[in-house]
Structure 1
């Protein structure tokens, strides 16, 4: 006798991709310039996912993609302000273009290089992930 709640093992529930945060690309950050104000940055990158009241001069853009097959991709980008204008910015694991619909590839590290007139954000170090888990996120030390 087959129970009423029996489901054959070949039938699997549908799973979908879950995207969270700001999808920031290398094309987007290439448009950032030292000296831009906060509104200009918000126009280019959007409203930051993490905007700490205690660190108003630091905006963190975090993106996480949980694929249906269980793979996780994350990207992070930090913009630092001084006197209301961009003083430095940096991040990791950003997709090249917005047409990269699958999101950032967690197996390929692609660092964004600062524009020639910019100082790289050497003081953005690895620390605890802003989105939890064992992954690391750049934070100011």
Structure 2
């Protein structure tokens, strides 16, 4: 035997609840595409951030340990050219950097090159002008 289905009329409170729930669900789907709900991105510094003040402490004739003490480790120590150290710095602002208005540093525009002689002493320094003053 087949039972017949009896539908009860929906009450106004139940109808209103369904409309509100549908509206909230629709609003959350629409807002998921907004930038307010974007993913947090980290600031991405790469290399060693060096200022002109730090680089001007370097002098021709310093040894490699003194350079390491002042600037830290270089970004590039080429095994094919061991008498040259490259300090390169790039920065991509994430969420926090964008809020603070920090500009991106791209394409190794901050590039300091230090050349050493056969005795391991600084013979030449290039790129101090590419570094920020502060």
TM-score for both structures, normalised by structure 1: 0.60
Which residue of 1 is the match for residue 104 of structure 2? 72
Matched, 1:59 2:96: no
C-alpha RMSD of matched pairs (Å): 2.2
Q: Write out the 4+ residue segments of structure 1 that deviate beyond 3 Å after TM superposition.
A: none
Q: Please, which of 15, 18, 40 is the counterpart of residue 41 of structure 2?
A: 15
Distance 1:67 1:47 in 2: 23
SS in structure 2 opposite 1:62? Answer: strand
Note the C-alpha offset of 1:95.
1.5
Matched, 1:95 2:127: no
SS in structure 2 opposite 1:39? Answer: helix
Q: Which has the larger radius of gyration?
A: 2
Distance 2:53 2:104 in 1: 22
Note the C-alpha offset of 1:65.
0.4
Task: Give the unaligned 5+ runs of structure 2.
Answer: 1-21
Greater helix share, 1 or 2?
A: 2
Which residue of 2 is the match for residue 128 of structure 1? none
TM-score for both structures, normalised by structure 2: 0.63
Which residue of 1 is the match for residue 74 of structure 2? 48
Greater strand share, 1 or 2?
A: 1
Task: Give the unaligned 5+ runs of structure 1.
Answer: 98-141
